[in-house]
Amino acid sequence: MNKVFVFLICSLFFVSHGEAMQDNSELVVSGVEHDANIGDFFQYEVVGNSVPDSMGKNMDEEKYLRVENYDGNGLRMEVTQKSQGWFGGETVDYSVLTTSWKTKFTLFFNDLHDDDGLEDSVSVSLNMRTESWILDENGLGILNAKYIKEITYDQMHMNMTFNDDNEGNESIVRIVSITGTETQTVNNSGAYPTDYKVGSMWTTSETTEEIGMLSEFMCMDGEEDCKWETSEIDEEETSTSTLEVLREVSVTTTAGTFETLEFKDIDEEDEGGNYTLTYISEVGIPVKFSGYEEGEMDMEMQLESYSVRALTPLDEESVLGDLPSISLILSIVSIGLITIFRRSRI
């Protein structure tokens, strides 16, 4: 059953819509400072069945049939706090970006136990929440936000229903997995471009310490002695990523049409063929994310709506004042989404 936990937590989200190459590669995004404000948010939608389909195939690709009762809920990222704290031997300003996502669905399989030829089902409910404490620094680039710490809470409920015979008899296994962690940044490094345009490439490295608890519960209906199993999480990890701006792309989502730069993010610890494509608009809006595993797209997500006070003009003269530019909130949303994507691939 441990593989089931991994497979369910491993699959998350991501999406693409129509896109067109631009004839001239002239789009340049520059890093300048704007304040993040409490209440600024980005709402992303999951398009299609990429999330449940990915989970079903990971559990058993040959036997996976379909998904039903999928709520299709999206993911929300919102600035919920601004404060000061102690980091790196000095007092710093930081913003807290809260990411939340809940979804549920039912997966169907063709006779998981190879015993009766009947369909079996797995109902899944996921609840994920992350608080990212991110430094407010001058000149933040699109993908170089620096974390103070990250607090995560993931909860998964799953009911596995196995049909035992043609007379309606069935066995039900109930599974719960709860993970709570706090991740501190030990060290990060990397030389970031001043401007981002086609051909820009840079490498970043980050060392983190993660502590927390993993609690798991599994019980078949009718059993009375089922118990929780709890284990401690205490890990230090160093990850190195190479990022490159590949091209200019016009991307259309339900939030509108955006001229974007396509960023490719490869984690050197991942196997070949695993990477993320991120599409950033000319004013710094993170529009679309596409996750690839072994060279094939397996997770998709796109912008549904957003509200950023720094991008709301106070008068007509400020409508195009500092564009193109990247605000603090846009920077931390971009790095936050990529971090969550990496965390989903345990």
161 token code pair: 């229903």
Q: What is the pLDDT along the chain (346 residues), one digit of tens a residue?
A: 333 222 222 222 222 223 333 445 478 776 545 567 888 888 998 878 878 888 888 888 899 999 999 988 888 888 899 888 877 778 888 888 898 989 999 999 998 877 778 899 999 999 999 898 887 764 333 444 667 888 999 999 999 998 876 676 788 999 999 999 998 888 878 777 777 889 989 888 888 899 999 999 999 888 888 899 999 999 998 988 888 999 999 999 988 899 999 989 887 776 667 888 889 887 777 889 888 877 777 778 899 998 877 766 544 333 333 333 333 444 444 444 544 444 444 3
Supply the pLDDT for residue 34: 54
The pLDDT, as a whole number, for residue 70 is 93
Whole domain around residue 111: which residue ranges?
Answer: 2-344
Could you tell me if 190 and 22 are in contact, meaning their C-beta atoms sit under 8 angstroms apart? no
Among candidate residues 155, 138, 187, the one with its CA nearest the CA of residue 31? 138
> What was the pLDDT predicted at 335?
46
- Max distance between CA atoms of the chain, in angstroms, equals 74
Instruction: Decide: residue 215, CB within 10 A, 0-12 exposed, 13-18 middle, 19+ buried.
Output: middle
Measuring CA to CA, how many Å separate 295 from each of 47, 76, 219, 237, 274?
Answer: 20, 27, 37, 25, 6
Cα dihedral across residues 32, 38, 40, 45: positive or negative: positive
Question: What is the 8-class DSSP label of residue 35?
Answer: -
Comparing CA positions, the residue from 243, 144, 246, 248 lying closest to residue 199 is 246
- With CA atoms as reference, report the closest residue to 130 among 340, 338, 308: 340
| 93 CB neighbour count, 10 Å cutoff | 13
CA distance 240 to 249: 26
In this prediction the pTM is 0.75
Total Cβ atoms within 10 A of residue 303: 25
State the total domains in the chain. 1
- The sign of the dihedral angle between the CA atoms of 85, 91, 95, 100 is negative
**Cis peptide preceding 52, ω within 30 of 0:** no
pLDDT of residue 155: 92
Other beta carbons less than 10 A from residue 311's beta carbon: 18
